[in-house]
Amino acid sequence: MQSNDDLGRILVIIPTYNEIDNLDMITRRLRASVPEAHILVVDDNSPDGTGRRADELAAEDDHIHVLHRQGKEGLGAAYKAGFAWGLEQDYDVLVEFDADGSHQPEQLGRVLAALHDADMVKGSRWVPGGSVVNWPLHRELLSRGGSIYTRLMLGLPVRDITGGLNAFHADTLRAILNDPIDGQGYGIQRDLTWNAHKRGFRITEVPIEFIERTRGESKMSGDVVKEAMIRTTELGLRHRGQQLKDTVGRLRGGTEHAGEVAGRFVGAVSRAAGEAARTVRKNGPKGGAR
């Protein structure tokens, strides 16, 4: 495997909320697997003492840092706070990572190695060689279906759009954070990938084995899935509407008539998006998967 020494300073960001049962395990494995990396625990004032334990670990290890937040504000907000901290501290590579062991620290080296030839790297369950462990069939179908739906709506050439193991060069992250980002839930993974693609950054997927957590409770819920579907539908209809508008403009030579036709279509698309959003909010899925 290619050495990661020339990647610069690496920061692995781990959002936590009630992860006291997993914190020691995940930090220990990360320090052993990628000893040059620093770890930032972003804790949302966990009632179970996760933040206090993170402070104890940081006091013992200068590669572990802690960012305390006032309360539970969502995964997207936690990652955005972690990104801001890491960029202010001039880290060269920033990584999103789960606290519960579903992302295996022993596979992080391969993800980082791929950054030598990419701007963003996604640990992917749905490319050849990727897999999930201990997931029921309905959850796998929901996760795969969510990525397929997002790919179709946004035209993204990525197989695992909703996956949460992502690595970025700092300059890439600075650029894509200038575009809209979901500040609450798991939609942040879609938005980071979408923004990177729109800006022409090279996105590489590296196969990983994703293992369902064995300790603690999942933060995923039906409401999170529902909101992600609504937002993806809105983004996709707007994107496809703009594509049609551009195509009509080219075919009609950019005439006023073409603009009117396209404008009416985009208006119809927007109304359809609103209706779809209302329908999903009322009748959306009850289960959840990442």
Residue 106 belongs to domain with CATH number: 3.90.550.10
Same domain, 128 and 164: yes
Same domain, 178 and 122: yes
The pLDDT assigned to 200 comes to 97
Same domain, 79 and 191: yes
C-beta of residue 183 within 8 angstroms of C-beta of residue 76: yes
Q: Is residue 193 part of a domain?
A: yes
> What does the block give as tokens for 245?
């508008």
Q: Is the dihedral of CA 53, 59, 60, 66 positive or negative?
A: positive
Same domain, 58 and 144: yes
Question: What residue numbers bound the domain in which 189 lies?
Answer: 5-217
C-beta of residue 68 within 8 angstroms of C-beta of residue 43: yes
Q: Is residue 290 part of a domain?
A: no
Same domain, 160 and 259: no
Same domain, 201 and 257: no
CA distances from 121 to 1, 141, 142, 149, 245 (A): 16, 23, 23, 21, 32
pLDDT tens by residue, 169-186: 999 999 999 998 876 667
Same domain, 171 and 233: no
Confidence class for position 284, pLDDT limits 50, 70, 90: very low
d(CA 260, CA 33): 58
Same domain, 141 and 197: yes
Closest by alpha carbon to 30, among 113, 95, 78?
95
In what helix (H) or strand (E) does residue 47 lie, and over which residues does it extend?
none
Q: Is residue 289 part of a domain?
A: no
Q: Is residue 105 part of a domain?
A: yes
Same domain, 252 and 133: no
pLDDT tens by residue, 7-59: 999 999 999 999 999 999 999 999 999 999 999 999 999 999 999 999 999 99
Residue ending a domain, among 217, 243, 269, is: 217
Closest by alpha carbon to 181, among 67, 54, 78?
78
Beta strands in the chain (DSSP E): 10-16, 38-43, 64-68, 93-96, 120-124, 131-133, 166-169, 203-207, 209-211
The pLDDT assigned to 115 comes to 98
- What's the domain count of the chain? 2
Same domain, 143 and 243: no
Closest by alpha carbon to 277, among 220, 236, 240?
236
pLDDT tens by residue, 75-101: 999 999 999 999 999 999 999 999 999
The pLDDT assigned to 183 comes to 62
Radius of gyration of the chain (CA): 20
Residue ending a domain, among 217, 248, 271, is: 217
Residue ending a domain, among 185, 217, 249, is: 217
> What does the block give as tokens for 18?
């009630």
Closest by alpha carbon to 208, among 116, 104, 120, 134?
104
Same domain, 114 and 32: yes
CA distances from 116 to 4, 34, 244 (A): 8, 16, 36
| First-to-final CA distance of the chain | 29
Name the pTM for this structure: 0.81
d(CA 127, CA 60): 39
Q: Is residue 288 part of a domain?
A: no
Same domain, 131 and 232: no
